[in-house]
């Protein structure tokens, strides 16, 4: 089959911030006969991937795996824990936070949306103040996107937890880690998160099609009394059968083969090494952007995303025209600006299966594109990134074959 964006030779560079490039090892793992999902072999697979996901979420509690896009796991988090008319507090960090908010409204929840400028993370102080002004505990949940994929801004989840605790408020804390899990340090238990939402196709290095909830004991208790209608997304049916490695309906068996392989890759590299690798590639990318004389969308250095960088276009220049030039000439896809950032920014994904030379090639494609598209910039971004990478590089571990 011809790929959609095909050049005569070489690989397409999929440098959008998800879906990300799927490693050959994962593709090969998926390419096996589908087995009986009620047979003994499947039970072992199910137990292995559920245990592995607990390690990635850093939780001793329950993890649920759905055959769905990340959006399904958003819905699961809400419908399992909340009742019609419940108040939830959400932070407007960008496009994905806005989509989650719209979903909550459609489900019949009352959303208070804390305004944001799409250049900052959720504001823990503002969340704390709002909760302190809710002595009747009408707010049932606080929902935050950890890594806002539309902007390249990371919210400080532990600080949000602290603000909730300082206000002495019992609201559940729900966090979207769809583009951070497996790329950024994340600790479901230690950070006191009640429901963590994630997906397969970004830091987890899989194709789209799996999503996850990690669930605290408090969230499970909320599920006992929550009255939003749910059937497909019901945690209880999953949890009744998951301990034996099985699912209440047909799981995405082949994606689970891929998940087992991706987990093995993450654990072999070591999660801390994976996080450090993403930090380093984020820093190298930002050095390139600054050398070009372009502006990073994320306003505060302590909130820079290690997974992607959103770059602002100079006034009067089109991000989409630049992206088209890069695709047409260099066979690379960059992320587009979403909703109100449309045509104003482009996004460089540097997450997932990624190394120094992948980054150098990616940044070369951007720099050549800037030149070809006539975008005002200074040359030397790739050089700045290479200098930093060379200065900070370490010997690669032996490649698994
Ligand atoms: C990609 C993404 C989503 C949406 O996930 P889908 O798999 O497209 O449903 C939600 N939130 C964040 C932060 C994302 O990056």
Q: Is the pTM of this model over 0.85?
A: yes
* Chain-centre distance for alpha carbon 110: 25
What confidence score (pLDDT) does residue 396 get? Answer: 77
Which of 216, 210, 229, 302 is CA-nearest to residue 82? 229
Q: How far is the CA of 135 from the centre of ligand 1 (A)?
A: 33
pLDDT of residue 1: 56
CATH number, domain containing residue 322: 3.90.1150.10
- Whether 58 and 104 map to the same domain: the answer is yes
Where among 249, 267, 285 does a domain terminate? 267
Pair (258, 115) in one structural domain: yes
Distance CA 116, CA 93 (A): 6
Task: Please choose from 14, 78, 179 the residue to mutate so as to test ligand 1's pocket, defined by most ligand atoms within 8 A of CB.
Answer: 179
Give the residue from 232, 350, 204 showing the smallest Cα distance to 289.
350
Pocket test for ligand 1, best of 178, 210, 233 (most atoms within 8 A of CB): 178
Q: Quick one: which atom of ligand 1 is closest to the CA of 17?
A: 15
What's the confidence (pLDDT) of residue 7?
Answer: 57
60-110 pLDDT per residue, tens = 999 999 999 999 999 999 999 999 999 999 999 999 999 999 999 999 999
Distance of CA 73 from the midpoint of ligand 1 (Å) = 10
Structure tokens at 148: 């806002």
Separation between Cα atoms, residue 35 and residue 177, nearest integer Å: 30
Q: How far is CA 266 from CA 91, 182, 197, 305, 359, in A?
A: 31, 8, 19, 19, 19
Backbone torsion region of residue 39, taken as left when φ is above 0, otherwise alpha when ψ lies between -120 and 50, otherwise beta: beta
In a domain, 118, yes or no: yes
Name 89's Cβ contacts closer than 8 Å, sequence gap at least 6. 111, 112, 114, 127, 130, 131, 139, 141, 142, 143, 171
86 and 209 share a domain? yes
Shared-domain flag, residues 240 and 95: yes
Cα 202 to averaged position of ligand 1 atoms, centre (Å) = 9
Calculate how far, in angstroms, residue 301's C-alpha sits from the geometric centre of ligand 1: 24
Residues 286 and 319 in one domain: yes
Q: Residue 214 to residues 56, 152, 167, 340: CA-CA distances in angstroms?
A: 10, 23, 24, 31
Q: Does residue 399 fall inside a structural domain?
A: no
Among 254, 248, 246, 245, which Cα is nearest to 235's? 248
Q: Does residue 1 form part of some domain?
A: no
347 a known binding residue? yes
Report pLDDT for 401.
Answer: 45
CA distances from 308 to 104, 189, 283, 298, 312 (A): 26, 25, 10, 11, 13
Does any domain span residue 276? yes
Q: Are residues 61 and 155 in the same domain?
A: yes
Nearest alpha-carbon partner for 348 in 328, 329, 370: 370
Number of structural domains the chain divides into: 2
Residues with Cβ within 6 A of ligand 1? 18, 69-71, 96, 145, 149, 176, 178-179, 199, 208
Q: Are 285 and 322 in the same domain?
A: yes
Report the residue among 16, 66, 70 best suited for mutation to probe ligand 1: largest number of ligand atoms under 8 A from its CB: 70
Considering the domain architecture, whether residues 62 and 178 belong to the same structural domain is answered as yes
Shortest-distance atom of ligand 1 to CA 149: 15
Q: Given the CA of residue 179, which atom of ligand 1 is nearest to it? A: 15
pLDDT at 350: 98
CA-closest candidate to residue 228, choices 73, 84, 75: 84
Give the tokens for residue 204. 């987890």
* Domain presence at residue 4: no
Tell me which residues of the chain have a pLDDT lower than 70: 1-8, 397-401
Q: Provide the b/e sequence for 332-346 (b: ≥16 CB within 10 Å).
A: bbbbbbbeebeebbb
Could you give the residue ranges of the DSSP H alpha helices within 58-123?
Answer: 70-81, 95-106
Same domain, 245 and 288: no
Distance from the CA of 291 to the center of ligand 1, in angstroms?
31
Tokens encoding 41: 């072999």
Nearest C-alpha neighbor of 319 from the set 295, 291, 347: 347
Give residue 211's pLDDT.
98
Residue 30's SS3 state is helix
Which is the closest atom of ligand 1 to the Cα of 71? 9
User: Domain limits at 159?
Assistant: 24-267
Closest CA to ligand 1's atom 5:
70
Res 4: pLDDT:
60
Judge whether 98 lies within some domain.
yes
Does 323 share its domain with 262? no
SS3 sequence, 270-327? CHHHHHHHHHHHHHHHHHHHHHHCCEECCCCHHHECCCEEEEECCCCCCHHHHHHHHH
Could you tell me the distance, in angstroms and rounded to a whole number, from the CA of residue 274 to the centre of ligand 1? 21
Query: How many angstroms does the Cα of residue 96 sit away from the middle of ligand 1?
Result: 7
């Amino acid at each position: 089959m011809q790929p959609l964006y095909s050049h005569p030779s070489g690989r397409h560079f999929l440098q959008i911030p998800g879906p990300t490039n799927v490693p050959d090892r994962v593709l090969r793992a998926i390419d096996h006969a589908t087995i009986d999902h009620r047979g003994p072999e499947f039970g072992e697979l199910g137990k292995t991937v559920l245990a592995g996901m607990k390690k990635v979420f850093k939780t001793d509690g329950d993890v649920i795996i759905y055959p769905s896009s990340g959006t399904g796991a958003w819905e699961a988090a809400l419908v399992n824990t909340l009742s019609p008319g419940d108040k939830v507090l959400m932070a407007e960090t960008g496009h994905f936070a806005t989509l989650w908010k719209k979903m909550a409204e459609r489900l019949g929840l009352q959303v208070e949306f804390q305004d944001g400028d799409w250049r900052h993370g959720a504001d823990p102080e503002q969340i704390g103040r709002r909760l302190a002004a809710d002595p009747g505990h009408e707010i049932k949940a606080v929902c935050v996107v950890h890594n806002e994929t539309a902007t390249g801004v990371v919210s400080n989840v532990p600080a949000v937890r602290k603000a909730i605790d300082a206000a002495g408020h019992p609201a559940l804390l729900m966090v979207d880690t769809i583009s951070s899990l497996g790329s950024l340090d994340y600790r479901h238990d230690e950070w006191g998160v009640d429901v963590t939402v994630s997906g397969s196709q970004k830091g987890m290095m899989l194709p789209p099609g799996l999503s996850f909830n990690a669930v605290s004991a408090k969230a499970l208790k909320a599920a006992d009394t929550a009255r939003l209608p749910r059937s497909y997304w019901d945690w209880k049916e999953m949890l009744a059968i998951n301990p034996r490695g099985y699912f209440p309906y047909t799981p995405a068996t082949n994606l689970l083969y891929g998940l087992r392989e991706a987990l093995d890759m993450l654990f072999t590299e070591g999660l801390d090494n994976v996080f450090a690798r993403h930090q380093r590639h984020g820093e190298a990318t930002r050095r390139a952007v600054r050398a070009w004389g372009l502006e990073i969308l994320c306003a505060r250095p302590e909130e820079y995303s290690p997974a992607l960088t959103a770059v602002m276009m100079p006034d009067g220049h089109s991000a989409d025209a630049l992206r088209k030039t890069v695709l047409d000439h260099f066979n690379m896809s960059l992320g587009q600006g979403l909703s109100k950032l449309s045509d104003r920014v482009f996004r460089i994904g540097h997450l997932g299966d990624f190394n120094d030379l992948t980054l150098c090639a990616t940044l070369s494609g951007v720099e050549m594109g800037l030149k070809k598209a006539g975008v005002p910039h200074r040359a030397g971004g790739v050089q700045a990134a290479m200098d930093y990478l060379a200065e900070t590089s370490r010997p690669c571990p032996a490649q698994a074959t």
